[in-house]
């Protein structure tokens, strides 16, 4: 066999081997991609919150209706979807539900029923750059903060980092969609912001699942833990 022919055979062999390796690598990457999509499909977008009674939901509905008269560029949260959020968890797996529930039970057994009320209106981060419209929470806010801190401490060992910002109890009722007249917004807050509801008693905490759909978010209870 001539040296030229041997060289061509060697080159052909190397090309075939290289191509096989590329094909194998592509198949491996495809398998990883399929696994990753499956894992993402199995995750649960979730948060921890206290449910609100109907009278608070009705107050939120009336407040949003009052704001709408000012024709501000705000997207209002459906009143039935408003909760007192204590911690947003993001995407979790089904295996995370049990340790999260254990942490909630440990925090809840040290907490009695909490008397709360809806109180005042404001915006985050401030009137100069408003992004979120909120209704404040009054009443037993000290035991509420202590309970929220217990949740943070209980979940940290399971890989859920503590929120860096201090907890400030509020109900998110609207989100600013773009530019708006801040003077008109301030007028609306001054006119509508003196609200204060009768107290209600929070007796449990809920782990919610959140499914984002074209029609809006749909919330489902995964677990409810009573206080005390």
Residues tagged active-site: 83, 170
For residue 67, pLDDT over 90 is answered with: yes
Banded model confidence at residue 42, pLDDT cuts 50, 70, 90: confident
Identify the residue with better confidence: 74 or 26. Answer: 74
pLDDT in tens, 106-151: 999 999 999 999 999 999 999 999 999 999 999 999 999 999 999 9
pLDDT reported for residue 216: 80
What average pLDDT does range 60-76 have in this prediction?
A: 96
What percent of the chain stands above pLDDT 70?
82
pLDDT reported for residue 15: 53
pLDDT reported for residue 213: 87
For residue 39, pLDDT over 90 is answered with: no
Map the chain to HEC letters: CCHHHHHHHHHHHHHHHHHHHHHHHHHHHHHHHHHHHHHHHCCEEEEEEECCCHHHHHHHHHHHHHHHCCCCCEEECCHHHCCEEEEEEEEECHHHHHHHHHHHHHHHCCCCCEEEEEEEEEEECCCCCCCEEEEEEEECHHHHHHHHHHHHHHHHHHCCCCCCCCCCCEEEEEEECCCCCHHHHHHHHHHHCCCECCCEEECEEEEEEEEEECCEEEEEEEEEEECC
Would you tell me which CATH number, out of the four given (3.90.1140.10, 3.20.10.10, 3.10.20.30, 1.10.3720.10), belongs to the domain 43-226? 3.90.1140.10
pTM, entire model: 0.80
What average pLDDT does range 6-10 have in this prediction?
A: 52
């Amino acid at each position: 066999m001539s040296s030229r022919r041997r060289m061509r055979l060697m080159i052909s062999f190397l090309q075939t081997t290289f191509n096989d390796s590329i094909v194998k690598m592509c198949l491996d990457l495809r398998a990883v991609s399929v696994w990753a999509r499956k894992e993402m499909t199995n995750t649960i977008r979730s948060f921890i919150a206290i449910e609100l009674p109907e009278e608070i939901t009705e107050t939120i509905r009336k407040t949003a209706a009052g704001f709408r008269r000012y024709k501000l560029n705000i997207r209002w949260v459906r009143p039935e979807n408003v909760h007192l959020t204590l911690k947003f968890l993001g995407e979790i797996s089904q295996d995370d539900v049990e340790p999260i529930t254990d942490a909630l039970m440990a925090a809840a057994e040290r907490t009695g029923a909490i008397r709360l009320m809806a109180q005042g209106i404001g915006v985050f981060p401030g009137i100069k750059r408003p992004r979120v419209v909120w209704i404040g929470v009054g009443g037993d806010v000290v035991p509420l903060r202590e309970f929220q801190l217990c949740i943070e401490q209980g979940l940290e060992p399971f890989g859920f980092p503590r929120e860096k910002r201090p907890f400030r109890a509020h109900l998110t009722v609207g989100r600013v969609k773009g530019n708006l007249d801040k003077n008109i917004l301030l007028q609306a807050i001054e006119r509508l912001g003196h609200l204060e509801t009768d107290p209600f008693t929070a007796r449990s905490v809920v782990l919610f699942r959140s499914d984002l759909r074209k029609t809006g978010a749909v919330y489902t209870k995964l677990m409810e833990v009573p206080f005390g």
